[in-house]
Amino acid sequence: MSLDEMQKKFVDYLLLLAKREDRGALADLRSGLGMEPASMYRVHRHVVPYRYRKTCDDRWYYLVATLFGLFPEHRKGYSFGSAFQLLKAKSDSMEARFVALLNAHPDDLDGHLRHAVSLLKSYDQPLDWYRLFSDLLQWESLDGKVQLGWARDFYSNDTEYKEENVYE
């Protein structure tokens, strides 16, 4: 699933805040970390203008906004699996943390992602915020496409998954 125009504008807006180094707005976004959307009073002004219709759960907008406030760095093309793969060599616990993230129930995903983004930040390893938003919008799909894609990116030999024909 790709993002619609308004969803893209939402991520564009977040990236603009980082480009402008708008520390006040980024602090607003961080203020919502760990909170329910209804009580993220300082975050509403950054999210609500991009919610022109109810097409998905608001929580994904709020989660992306608050995580972006925590680590406002962008690297095009890097899924969460690709970004996290580069941390494998840094610590033996990275794989266990990543697997816990893949197995996270949607209700617990916020906390897992908050810790994972903190790790990415501590190692200065950006990710693609458009892709993360798109992936979260599909997180609960029954086919597990997002989790499988992240796993492929994490376990591949390089950051771009290359499918091999095992029958040759």
- Position 167 pLDDT exceeds 70: no
Domain 5-155 has CATH 1.10.520.40: yes
- Give this prediction's pTM: 0.89
- Position 81 pLDDT exceeds 70: yes
Render pLDDT for 30-53 as a digit per residue (tens, 0 to 9).
Answer: 999 999 999 999 999 999 999 866
- Position 56 pLDDT exceeds 70: no
Per-residue model confidence (pLDDT) at position 95: 93
- Position 157 pLDDT exceeds 90: no
Per-residue model confidence (pLDDT) at position 166: 36
HEC profile of the chain: CCCCHHHHHHHHHHHHHHHCCCHHHHHHHHCCCCCCHHHCCCCHHHHHHHCCCCCCCHHHHHHHHHHHHHCCCECCCCCHHHHHHCCHHHCCCHHHHHHHHHCCCHHHHHHHHHHHHHHHHHCCCCECHHHHHHHHHCCCCCCCHHHHHHHHHHHCCCCCCCCCCCCC
- For residue 57, what pLDDT band results from cuts at 50, 70 and 90? confident
- The full set of domain ranges for the chain reads 5-155
